[in-house]
Amino acid sequence: MPRVGAKALHLLDPEDAHNLTIRALAAGLGPQQMTRDDPVLATQIGSLALPNAVGLAAGFDKNAEAPVAMLRAGFGFVECGTVTPLAQAGNPRPRLFRLTQDRAVINRMGFNNGGLEPFAQRLSVRPKAAGVVGANIGANKDSGDRIGDYVTGLERLWGLADYFTVNISSPNTPGLRALQTKAALDELLGRLAQARAALIASSADVPVLLKVAPDLEEGEVESIVESVLAHGLNGIIVSNTTISRPEGLQSIWKAETGGLSGAPLMTLSTHMLRRFHEVAAGRVALIGAGGIASGADAYAKIRAGACAVQLYSAMAYSGPGLISVIKRDLAARLKADGFTSVTQAVGQT
């Protein structure tokens, strides 16, 4: 949808505008990239070869309604979800707020989604040749066994998604972030590892990633990396939204409860990415998310340690056509510094 379309959507309630965008994209009305990606943008996440390093973050397409449209728009990979085993309405509206002056968004959606079955059905009929589509899995708010919900998601979508992201870092499901603590995380990843081992006994393996918050305490980075390596995960996405509120926010919505994303998250999430890069020391792939709105932002994440990046909130202000602008700028920056691939630039501060 061109930039003028994005401006027109700002006349609507943010959630209504988003839903309208998804419907339009699913109907084939979005932008389409007509040329091949510059080879300098290609990268790898585990076994996944990506045509470019710029991906769509989870949250945009919760129900896997428009992944092919977003791949055609130029994203190197698309992550759908968060999806939970059972459909749930999420938190009461209003729950999505544009902080226009700050180029930011606050959301407290609460994993609203249609559940695993329709999600799986849509993935089952997608043309796999269109590109890489991942599934971001979560737990129902009222579940009696949240870890079991993640296992259910992994098992139901195995063979349908090209990779999985285990989302334990949304601030909008009470108690969910407690799964980032050492004992809880080891239990979760241990049960997922058992389920994964059974699945790959009869089918091909795919990467499994962990998505973390930017609001981690001292020492938590080390314990998370240890758990990820111990249980055989392939990558970490750094980061989800923040519950903090950086100084200088101007919008009247700045005090709303929920996770803050967009431009104000860039500094915090990149700092956390750099910490994970220091601790992981190349032993696990890192994907940078949070605050990306330009090629310069994407390049900063790569130089901080990311082999690929994801964005979402910036499209609320610029529309899906932003992806082409970011890729052109990123390719130019890589070449200007003498890199012939994204991989060469990872962690080169």
* Catalytic residue flag (residue 169): no
Q: What is the pLDDT of residue 11?
A: 75
**Looking at 143, 169, 170, 261, which residue is catalytic?**
170
Task: Name the pTM for this structure.
Answer: 0.96
pLDDT at 267 over 70: yes
pLDDT at 88 over 90: yes
Q: What is the pLDDT of residue 349?
A: 85
pLDDT digit string, tens, across residues 101-153: 999 999 999 999 999 999 999 999 999 999 999 999 999 999 999 999 999 99
Distances (CA, A) of 162 to 50, 60, 115: 11, 18, 19
Query: Exposed, middle or buried, 256 (CB in 10 Å: 0-12/13-18/19+)?
Result: middle
Residues 67, 126 contacting (CB under 8 angstroms):
yes
Which segment of 5-9, 167-171, 222-226, 274-278 scores lowest on mean pLDDT? 5-9
pLDDT digit string, tens, across residues 278-291: 999 999 999 999 99
- Name the β-bridge partners of 152: none
Q: What is the pLDDT of residue 9?
A: 67
pLDDT at 13 over 70: yes
Q: What is the pLDDT of residue 7?
A: 58
Q: What is the pLDDT of residue 4?
A: 42
Q: What is the pLDDT of residue 188?
A: 98
CA distance 325 to 311: 13
Torsion angles phi and psi, residue 80, rounded to 5: -100, 155
CA distance 116 to 2: 32
Q: What is the pLDDT of residue 5?
A: 54
- Name the β-bridge partners of 45: 48
